[in-house]
Structure 1
């Protein structure tokens, strides 16, 4: 029973997921601070209002939703531009091009079915294929 659990935990996908969750949680704090302490005041200086929470319509807090939506978009942009793009560039640098494998089949000129490359006669229509 414990051997099965050990095999499950030591599979690559489980370890990758665990590391990803831990690193993601830690980096989430960094990104949230980047948005809250740097991006939001910068946008507030440009627009003139750093906080939209006072905006209401019939006691519906539209401003809080706008704050959450803007924060989400800034967090998503920060994650995309500071994590996804560099990680994709790094992975593209390490991946070597895969050599093309020659095809294992060819098309019969008579019946257009796939036949092995070494075949001299089509198994479907018995036509000679050179």
Structure 2
């Protein structure tokens, strides 16, 4: 049972997913700080509103609708997704490509001595028959 759990945890996609969730949460804090400290004041200067959530709001029969709230959520998502892609996924893919291109070491290219001996025995027996 523990072996199966260990195999499940050590799969590449499970580990990648766990890393993505943790790093994505950390990047969310950074992206939110950038949005609140830079982008929201920029939007306030352009639209005359304190943030994107107050842009394009309207009221019908006492119900308040906010297109800006939806745009703010989409914008935050895109910022986090871009940060995760460019700062995590791209570097990891580059590392994987570099590892795939590494030449085999001499130890891996040359079989161990016992394998060579077994091959000689096999060839000698094949020649006798």
TM-score by length of 1: 0.56
Unaligned ranges ≥5, structure 1: 97-130
SS at match of 1:50: coil
Give the drift of 1:46.
1.0
Counterpart CA distance in 1 for 2:45 and 2:25 is 30
Give the drift of 1:30.
1.6
Give the drift of 1:88.
6.7
TM-score by length of 2: 0.56
Between the two proteins, the alignment pairs up a number of residues equal to 95
Higher RCO structure, 1 or 2 (CA under 8 Å, sep 6+):
2
Superposed CA RMSD in Å reads 2.9
Say if 2:43 and 2:50, in contact at 8 Å, map to a contact too: yes
1:60 paired to 2:58: no
Unaligned ranges ≥5, structure 2: 99-129
Counterpart CA distance in 1 for 2:84 and 2:16 is 16
Give the drift of 1:23.
0.8
Say if 1:32 and 1:75, in contact at 8 Å, map to a contact too: yes
Residue by residue, what CA displacement relative to the aligned partner does 1:18-52 show, whole Å, maximum 9, x if unpaired?
A: 11111111111222222223211211111111241
Match of 2:106 in 1: none
Task: Trace 1:4-15 onto structure 2 (pairs within 5 A).
Answer: 4-15=4-15
Say if 1:35 and 1:71, in contact at 8 Å, map to a contact too: no
Bigger share in helix:
2
